[in-house]
A and B are shown apart, each in its own frame.
Chain A
Amino acid sequence: MNESSRPVLAIRGLSTEVQTRRGVFRAVDDVSFTVPAAGKVALVGESGSGKTMTALSVLRLTDPGVRIVAGVVEFKGQDLLLLRENQMRHLRGSELAMVFQEPMTSLNPMLSVGYQIVETLRAHQKISRKQAKQRAVELLHRVGIPSPSTRVDAYPHQLSGGMRQRVMIAIAMGCRPSLMIADEPTTALDVTIQGQILDLFEQIREQDGTATWLITHDLGVVAGFAEHVLVMYAGQIVESSPVKELFRSPLHPYTQALIQCVSAVGVDGTTRHTRLPLVEGRIADIESRPSGCRFRPRCPRAHEACLEDPPWVEKAGRGARCVLLSEKEP
């Protein structure tokens, strides 16, 4: 492995449990993957698949009642799960940045955006208030906010959704992080703004070498942005693949169904007014997951062997959690 492809983040066997009134359930189950330095990795899944919980576990920002029960989260060589809380706090926002879906709830409405950028910069770097303010203007300029020297004194409600998300990214990139975790960063935005924001992540990667871990439900965004894709279903990674191969020949029946669902409703209009392909049923509730393969009740190719836990089968840099792959050898 050469220097540039050494992973910035390596997760091995991460498991997280949630305590509910009806017992303890696994929201994240034995998740392993890596994010290469300056790489672009996407974690895709539908709601309730556990993708956000995976990110929160890595950042150690889970709610009380949620417990990380196993795994190693190696960030630039150190296991985040073994760090003390104050060490962790030092990493978050500097080396390890995050951008969330709803910029209005992540920003403090009582403070100007400049103050919030300065606050983050000064928490991690020894610079004066004046220098920090100057840097805040620079950052706002870099994320494409027009007239940054006046906008630095604006309050979040005075900015549009796209502008607020840019401010969030300015805060996140302030300390030149090695990894940016972006949880549905474009979901609340319009398509024309969505493209601008994704371009911004690409630009930050090129200029600062920041790796991006994108969490999304939108396969269209994944196709245009990521290099490597992980598909999550009911708490588990079910497929891991470079992006081209994933869309060209998805291995797992769930990925196949998802891609079929999405490409059937494309703007190219090849399937107008026809009936759409369906995935029967819905994601099993965390409290009532089926035994064996969790996709089994919805899978068109389910058979007896699927009652057992499916193996993780790896082939040529790709992998999937499905018994069908180990059965038929090409």
Chain B
Amino acid sequence: MTGASADNASMKRRPLLQVERLSKLFAVSSGLWGKPSFARAVDDVTLHVRHAETLALVGESGCGKTTLGRCILRLIEPTFGRIVFEGKDLSPLSQRQLRPFRKQMQIIFQDPYASLNPRMRIGDIVAEGIRIHRLASGSEVMDRVVAVLDSVGLSRDVIMRYPHEFSAGQRQRVGMARALAVEPSFMVCDEPVSALDVSVRAHILNLLQDLQEKRKIAYLFISHDLGVVRHLSHRTAVMYLGKIVEVGPTDDVFSGPWHPYSRALLSAVPVADPERKQLRMVLEGEVPSPISPPSGCPFHPRCPKNDGVDCVQRMPPLREMPEGVHHRVACWHPEGRTM
């Protein structure tokens, strides 16, 4: 048996969150008498998030990034796979057993209009989690609310007001205060700045960074905005049709993507500089339906490197690339070249 000290050391090395072979299938009815078919929104995803780290999840709409985020929190029940948080497998737990973990794992949403109850005052919205988890009682509850509002840059005057009285940026701050009130160690940020104007966006991004530094929170940052991802994240995972096709340190993925899809995605981002001629890699066609995904590599029908054999027949595994550390790519013909 290993001693307690060895156990402690492995505790420190262990990532905060491990997702193992997670899949989510949605039943899609096909007419009255037809057999139900399934859409694989998330397909055999394995990833981990370390303490106080930001893992970005990028991909186009419909690639399954939001579903994956919600499956990890079990806001959507995963069909297969394990979610291990601080060493504990969450997948078999009942909703009641999950409750202590809900305090640890929070989420902020894209739409700051739809995600706040319009009939609740800001103070109650933020206090709800504190009350449910009995983190404070009596007058201490409001003290905590004031403190957490202050940490997101809102004054105590907002407590008695309703969501409709605030701008989009301020509502996003309220959403963040609600999540932070229970002092989570992990937060899913689902497109938190996509609905905001550029001049407001910078405030929220700075705030997310400050909070991570002060409170050591790990983020799963879901976004289609690659500029924001590069600015904020430590590691980046690229998703396509429910699968992770490339994952690695953000700088490596952005400066030297190996997967043809990552390359195309990065080259398509408009650059705010009219004097830099962009070489866009134009992809043929559109993302196929997850109800009838292509055989083999899901990207092969659109891929310039499709060999017609391996790519069509077998799904490439996520493999470690020779250069870089922990940079893994699922492609039969990865191409390492700086962009």
| Same complex origin of A and B | yes
Q: Which residues of A contact B (CB under 8 A)?
A: 46-47, 146, 160-163, 190-196, 199, 217-224, 243-244, 246-248, 257-259, 261-269, 271-273, 275-279, 282-283
Indicate which residue in B198, B232, B250, B271 contacts A258 across the interface (CB closer than 8 Å): B198
- With a cutoff of 8 Å between Cβ atoms, the chain B residues found around residue A283 in the complex are 197, 199
- With a cutoff of 8 Å between Cβ atoms, the chain B residues found around residue A275 in the complex are 206, 209
Q: Is the CB of B199 within 8 A of A146?
A: no
In the assembled complex, the Cα of A47 lies from the Cα of B113 at a distance in Å of 15
- With a cutoff of 8 Å between Cβ atoms, the chain B residues found around residue A224 in the complex are 270-271, 274, 278
Nearest opposing residue in chain B for A275, CB measure = B206
Nearest opposing residue in chain B for A159, CB measure = B286
Identify which of residues 206-241 in chain B touch chain A, using a CB-to-CB cut-off of 8 Å: 206, 209, 224-228, 230-232
Once A220-B270, A258-B198 are accepted as A-B contacts, the answer to whether A190 and B283 lie under 8 Å apart by CB is: no
Indicate which residue in B198, B209, B268, B287 contacts A194 across the interface (CB closer than 8 Å): B268
Indicate which residue in B206, B227, B251, B268 contacts A278 across the interface (CB closer than 8 Å): B206
Q: Is the CB of B272 within 8 A of A192?
A: no
Identify which of residues 163-215 in chain B touch chain A, using a CB-to-CB cut-off of 8 Å: 167, 169, 197-203, 205-206, 209
Indicate which residue in B202, B266, B274 contacts A244 across the interface (CB closer than 8 Å): B274
The secondary-structure label for the interface of chain B is helix
The secondary-structure label for the interface of chain A is helix
Once A190-B61, A223-B274 are accepted as A-B contacts, the answer to whether A269 and B265 lie under 8 Å apart by CB is: no
B249 to chain A, nearest CB (A): 11
Q: Is the CB of A258 within 8 A of B199?
A: yes
Q: Is the CB of A273 within 8 A of B231?
A: yes
In the assembled complex, the Cα of A16 lies from the Cα of B280 at a distance in Å of 40
Which of B61, B205, B230, B283 counts the most A-chain CB atoms under 10 A from its CB?
A: B230
Q: B264 within 8 Å of A by Cβ? A: yes
Q: B269 within 8 Å of A by Cβ? A: yes
- With a cutoff of 8 Å between Cβ atoms, the chain A residues found around residue B271 in the complex are 220, 223-224, 266-268
In the assembled complex, the Cα of A267 lies from the Cα of B270 at a distance in Å of 9
Q: B93 within 8 Å of A by Cβ? A: no
In the assembled complex, the Cα of A265 lies from the Cα of B273 at a distance in Å of 13
In the assembled complex, the Cα of A271 lies from the Cα of B201 at a distance in Å of 15
Q: Is the CB of B274 within 8 A of A247?
A: yes
Q: B285 within 8 Å of A by Cβ? A: yes
Q: B109 within 8 Å of A by Cβ? A: no
Nearest opposing residue in chain A for B168, CB measure = A47
Q: Is the CB of B231 within 8 A of A265?
A: yes
Q: Is the CB of B205 within 8 A of A247?
A: no
In the assembled complex, the Cα of A276 lies from the Cα of B203 at a distance in Å of 8
Q: Is the CB of B60 within 8 A of A267?
A: no
Nearest opposing residue in chain B for A245, CB measure = B274
